[in-house]
């Protein structure tokens, strides 16, 4: 059997005295697109940061491709083929669009170079018009395209996207969802955090809802959509 790309088991994370994650199990299998849902403050970003080594868990284990990586430095986890697009985007404002993309270009863990500079620009035609612009000159939507494009330039096995369309104009958000669909079709696994559950469930295989640091639902998009009472109770719709 193929090992999960990411497997968090019994994960606990604290911020000081605050107990944020409470024994979470979370798995990403090859080729899966997963929606991570929940209201603000329920632990979604903390789970992603705990997996990425940005926050050190206080209990439990994180395995990347079967290798124990709990609390490992973020760069080591990235080297295992895990690309992370954080909330707030984290682009280099003093570098041009072209430089932001090229500085991250590398082969994937199996030597794959499916996502070339040319392919990223074909996927994000808007970026090809802005190659000489500094990162700080871009709109929020353009910055989001750049961060996703930059992550794809690493030819990842998993793309983690925190707040995919937060604060973006509807037209730009639609473009981001189109790109998420393309990423799924390309075979890259992904974890998508976003409040737009209708758009999320259109492209995900599996969805996980967190409430106060615990998993309260895990299942397919069809299963979730067949339970409107869950959507109302946990997502406030």
Q: Both ends of the chain: CA-CA distance in Å?
A: 38
Q: What is the pLDDT of residue 87?
A: 84
Q: What is the pLDDT of residue 237?
A: 56
Q: What is the pLDDT of residue 10?
A: 98
In the chain, how long is the greatest CA-to-CA distance? 49
Local mean pLDDT, 10-residue blocks, the chain (237 residues): 92 95 97 95 95 96 96 94 88 92 95 96 95 93 94 97 91 93 95 94 96 96 93 84
Classified as helix, coil or strand, 120 is helix
Kindly state the helix (H) or strand (E) to which residue 27 belongs, with its residue range. Answer: strand 18-28
Q: What is the pLDDT of residue 91?
A: 87
Which neighbouring-strand residues pair with 217?
209
Q: What is the pLDDT of residue 236?
A: 80
């Amino acid at each position: 059997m193929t090992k999960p790309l990411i497997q968090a088991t019994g994960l606990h994370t604290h911020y000081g005295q605050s107990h944020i994650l409470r024994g979470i199990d979370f798995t990403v299998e090859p080729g899966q697109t997963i929606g991570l849902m929940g209201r603000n403050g329920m632990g979604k970003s903390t789970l992603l940061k705990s997996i990425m080594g940005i926050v050190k868990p206080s209990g439990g284990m994180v395995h990347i491709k079967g290798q124990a990586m709990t609390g490992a430095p973020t760069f080591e986890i990235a080297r295992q083929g895990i690309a992370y697009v954080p909330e707030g985007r984290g682009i280099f404002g003093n570098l041009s669009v072209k430089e932001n993309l090229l500085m991250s270009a590398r082969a994937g863990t199996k030597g794959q170079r499916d996502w070339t500079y040319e392919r990223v620009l074909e996927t994000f035609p808007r970026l090809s018009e802005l190659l000489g612009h500094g990162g700080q000159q871009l709109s929020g939507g353009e910055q989001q395209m750049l961060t996703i494009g930059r992550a794809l330039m690493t030819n990842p096995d998993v793309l983690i996207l925190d707040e995919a369309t937060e604060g973006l104009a509807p037209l730009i958000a639609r473009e981001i969802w189109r790109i998420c669909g393309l990423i799924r079709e390309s075979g890259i696994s992904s974890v998508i955090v976003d409040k737009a559950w209708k758009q999320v469930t259109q492209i995900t295989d599996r969805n996980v809802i967190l409430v106060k640091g615990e998993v309260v639902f895990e299942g397919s998009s069809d299963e979730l959509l067949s339970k409107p009472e869950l959507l109302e109770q946990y997502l406030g719709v």
